[in-house]
Amino acid sequence: MSSKYVIHTKQVPDRFKALSKSGVIAWEEGCLKCAVCVKKQCVYGVYDNRGLDPRQMIDSIDNQCMNCYRCVQSCPKELIQKSINPEFKVMGDTHWTPDIIARLWYQAQTGKIPVSGAGYPGPFTGPGFDSMWTDMSEIVRPTRDGIHGREYISTSIDIGSIPKQLMFSDKGDLIGREPLVMDIPLPIIFRLPSFGSISENTLMGWARAARHLGILLALPAKLINGNLEGYKSNLIPIFSAEDKVKKLGDEIRMVKVLWDGKNKKLLETVRRLYPRTLIAVSLPLKKGSLKEITDLISEGYSIFNLEATFQGRSADDQSRFAKDDIRSIHQTLVKDGIRNEITLTASGGFAMAEHVAKAVICGVDGVFIDFPILIALECRMCRRCEKGLTCPVEIENASQKWVAARTENMMGAWHNQLLEIMGAMGIREARRLRGEAGRAMFFDELDREIFGTMDKLEEGLELE
């Protein structure tokens, strides 16, 4: 048996001061100059740690404040108040929320999973993946001694086509070709984000992380040159209709082709030049995706990536969430008896570890992630780089080593979170998590089932 897959993490400090959600505001006017100022008594030593004279009343958004409100509630002249940090609030968008971004920073810095006290403070339900819960197993289930215990919870997945059976000749030789399958230890593949202040160092850092983690990084084929060549076995060249397909060497284990629905010639060329390489066909996630997939299966392709939008929606309808389309495509392929013969992945909008687990539950084998590996490098999703403006956290200047360590930290935290979710479900293999929708709960179904009958509004009813 192979050894346990462990991602080693260590503290990797931020290069810039992180934005915090709220800060402390203090006024000087009216200060009584108490012998022992309440600021001196801060349990967390915030006023001392920030290296300012604690008696100096300054207006400051303080990223060390832990929100205990003790100074606010104790100052005899009520001169200290808390205030929302407007800069934090406007980060990202409705999908890449400030909270998600801040949590990714924390994970990349510490390599730890976010742990906190008190009950979940968020909304009851939400759009997309927020409208599902995962199951747990109460009593009846196989023994285990904690997710980090002796038993192994595997997050590995297979990519490729697994034949139903192997055929051998009388002499014991395999008939036909050896099946092409690759296994990777995480249901995650990196993909170059569509924007970002990315330098060669950044790419090298990500490639290093991918190699160290045993996974891959997908990026446009034309970028694979120079120093990156050394990382070929962990790179997935992406070919699109504009590219001239070229052979990049036998180390390449997988290529990705952006399928526009018509360019058959591109596919053929790739197949010809990469006969012993896994070929993933990436197609926009939309109404007709299923038909396209079944057509391509009949032509012998077996790895498909469903490309959702930047915010995890269907390409042709912003109101539909990738989760729902993935589920229905998976279910149809199961019904048609062909799901096991192919590999299905998804990309676009995966922002948290739980999204990976939930996408797998909905029916994909694994996912491509893009912006989380950029946010790991302190990206604030301000998109200034898209407009040609400078990056506030100078990602392009970060060293390879720092990029790799931050990225690995984040994946270490994600891996542990996958273990948490799977451990609670009593599932010990990511391969078996795929399509386990019966062990998940969906808001749309559950809410109506339970509350649907609470719909009677009689005349004269008073509501409270």
Within 114-173, the residues that bind another protein by CB under 8 A are 114-125, 133-147, 149
Site for another protein in 346-405 (CB under 8 A): 352-354, 358
Is 175 among the residues that bind another protein (CB under 8 A)? no
Interface with another protein (CB under 8 A), residue from 315, 421, 430, 433: 421
- Please name the helix (run of DSSP H) or strand (run of DSSP E) that holds residue 374, with its range, or none: helix 371-375
User: Given the complex with another protein, which of 279 and 352 has the nearer CB atom?
Assistant: 352
Q: How far is the CB of 124 from another protein (least distance, A)?
A: 3
Stretch that binds another protein, among 75-83, 189-197, 260-268, 272-280 (CB under 8 A): 75-83
Is 446 among the residues that bind another protein (CB under 8 A)? yes
Site for another protein in 315-354 (CB under 8 A): 352-354
Is 81 among the residues that bind another protein (CB under 8 A)? yes
- The per-residue DSSP string of 150-212 comes to SSPPB--EEEE---S---B-TTSPBSSPPP-EEEESSSEEEE--SSS---HHHHHHHHHHHHH
CB 317 within 8 A of CB 276: no
Rounded CA-CA distance 284/385 in Å is 25
Interface with another protein (CB under 8 A), residue from 420, 429, 431, 436: 420
Is 90 among the residues that bind another protein (CB under 8 A)? no
Is 29 among the residues that bind another protein (CB under 8 A)? no
CB 215 within 8 A of CB 184: yes
- 278-284 vs 313-314, strand pairing mode: unpaired
Site for another protein in 233-262 (CB under 8 A): none
Instruction: Enumerate residues 6+ apart whose C-beta is below 8 A from 330.
Output: 339, 344, 362, 363, 364, 435
C-alpha dihedral over 93, 95, 100, 101, to 10 degrees? -40
Q: How far is the CB of 122 from another protein (least distance, A)?
A: 6
Is 113 among the residues that bind another protein (CB under 8 A)? yes
- Check the CA dihedral 88-93-94-95 and report its sign: negative
Nearest Cα neighbor of 405 from 107, 89, 142, 73 is 107
Stretch that binds another protein, among 11-19, 72-80, 281-289, 333-341 (CB under 8 A): 72-80
Q: How far is the CB of 210 from another protein (least distance, A)?
A: 23
Q: How far is the CB of 358 from another protein (least distance, A)?
A: 8
